[in-house]
Amino acid sequence: MTAMIDITDAGKTFTMHLQGGIELPVVRGVTFRVNPGECVVLSGPSGAGKSSILKMIFGNYRCDSGRIGIRHPGQVVDLATAEPRQVLNIRRSTIGYVSQFLRAVPRVASIDVVAEPLIVNGMSRTDAQARAGELLHRLNIPERLWQLPPATFSGGEQQRVNIARGFISDLPILLLDEPTASLDAVNRAVVVELVAEKKRQGVAMVAIVHDDEIRHLIADRIVDVTSFAAAA
Ligand SMILES: Nc1ncnc2c1ncn2[C@@H]1O[C@H](COP(=O)(O)OP(=O)(O)OP(=O)(O)O)[C@@H](O)[C@H]1O
């Protein structure tokens, strides 16, 4: 089976330009693969490099060694060397990222925040809003809040809007950074269901989940990043 994500020997060192160019090696030798329909959870202590690896896969952090092969329609692209324009293309049609916090655009209604990724990819506003409504409903966001911007929502409500926005697209790769951190048990269970549905659709996922119970519910494989820590 061709992996959706194939990382070989990837490494990242930060150069602190404001501190006389000090070099801060974070990870090295990062090597793992993620197949379609599989959820790999990254584990390891705080500071081991889990978020950095997720950001490398999303192209936010540029690798300075190794390869991050991403299966993108018709080809395998190396994100470690891809041009910024290509990274943006890959994000639009291949890789979704559910960050820990919602970066809400001011004055945009929650339903439109959630529907936007589908509209950008060509779906009509009416159809996209219908899909957004279904997801908000499943995530227990009451309908009276849908027309309000999420800026004043509680932390857990904002996270659920963020999850709905991340899960609404039919992208083949999804990166999840602590998707259940501020959720109650009922909504954590909804996220576990959403992840299971994505697996059935063949989506490849990489997740960071601190909650042991959720980790075991969603992980097909756990990759301990401790061995990739550059300081190890
Ligand atoms: N942009 C950056 N500039 C400088 N150092 C960074 C940057 N991003 C991360 N680091 C450093 O890389 C190391 C790994 O951080 P990272 O956030 O990847 O760890 P983590 O395993 O996700 O930790 P946690 O579980 O606490 O979120 C840390 O020492 C951090 O300070």
The DSSP 8-state label assigned to residue 220 in this structure reads S
C-alpha distances in angstroms, 171 versus 136, 143, 155, 229?
19, 26, 26, 30
Minimum CA distance residue for ligand 1 atom 16: 49
Residue whose CA lies nearest to ligand 1 atom number 13 = 47
Cα–ligand 1 centroid distance for 53 (angstroms): 9
Residue 19 and residue 218: Cα distance in Å, rounded? 41
Higher-confidence residue of 232 and 124: namely 124
Residues 11 and 38: their CA atoms lie apart, in Å, by 23
All residues at 6 or more sequence positions from 120 whose CB lies less than 8 Å from its CB, including other chains: 92
| Atom from ligand 1 closest to the CA of residue 49 | 18
> Is residue 50 within 6 Å of ligand 1 at its C-beta?
yes
Q: Is 47 in the pocket of ligand 1 (CB under 6 A)?
A: yes
- The pLDDT of 217-227, averaged and rounded, is 95
The amino acid that residue 58 corresponds to is F
Range in 19-28, 38-47, 105-114, 166-175 the model is least confident about: 19-28
In this prediction, residues 227-231 reach a mean pLDDT of: 80
Among protein residues, the one whose CA lies closest to atom 9 of ligand 1: 52
Q: Is the CB of 148 under 6 A from ligand 1?
A: no
Domain ranges of the chain: 104-169
Distance 73 CA to ligand 1 centre (A): 31
- At 140-193, the pLDDT tens digits run 999 999 999 998 899 889 999 999 999 999 999 999 999 898 899 999 999 999
DSSP annotation of 64 reads S
User: ipTM of this model?
Assistant: 0.93
Residue 226 identity (one-letter amino acid): T
Quote the CA–CA distance of 147 and 209 in Å, as a whole number.
30
Q: Can you read off the two tokens belonging to residue 101? A: 């916090």
